[in-house]
Homo-oligomer: A and B are copies of this chain.
């Protein structure tokens, strides 16, 4: 009997879920999709049932090989180590360090500061609903100024050379967030070009928010 397929707890628009969806698509791993709506009912990720899976009350969580894994980059590293076909890391250690650096600039340097729970706290602190959009725009734009300089040094067709790396898995969802916060991407030509090239790839199309079962109909093209 084949093992049960992995289960991904995901929200269509969550950056971290999206990164893992791309990794699973690159590796050709089929999985069961379970939607966790981050908005509805005050956030389904905050239910005690979900927090049993992930005390951080965040998506994604991936049930695979009999264990529940959380934290997108840790999940991607695990998938890469246990399913080495269609590699996500370059072979050269320096190129790998560059790819992980770009991934971390986004994963720890940009995304956490503009995530939902921080924005909700900013609004509470200021009592101005518009402060969320200002905050998100400020920190994404600031991060992109640095990221553009970095990526311009390593990019080929994609973020690091001409093969897809973990950096690209983080880049595409972050560019989506940048657009939501009305960051002017024309100021970041390498980021814009690489994101456009990635959007053409099948794995990225499959992982896109609009292709997920929990994407509302009115957001589909």
Residues of chain A touching chain B, judged by Cβ–Cβ distance below 8 Å, are 55-58, 65, 67, 69-75, 77-78, 81-82, 93-94, 96-97, 100-101, 103-105, 107-109, 111-113, 118, 121-122, 125-126, 131, 135, 138-139, 143, 145-147, 149-150
Contact = CB atoms under 8 A, between A and B. Distances in A.
Contacts of A65: 94
B93 A57 contact: no
Central interface residue in A65, A81, A146, by most chain B CB within 10 Å: A146
Central interface residue in A56, A58, A67, A103, by most chain B CB within 10 Å: A56
A125 B118 contact: no
Nearest to A69: B97
B97 A78 contact: yes
Nearest to A67: B94
A71 B125 contact: no
Nearest to A111: B108
List 7 A-B pairs, minimum CB-CB distance, nearest first: A74-B100, A71-B104, A55-B146, A55-B149, A78-B97, A108-B108, A74-B101
Contacts of A72: 104
A12 to B, nearest CB: 21
B122 A93 contact: no
Contact of A71 (B55, B70, B74, B100): B100
Contacts of A149: 55
Nearest to A57: B146
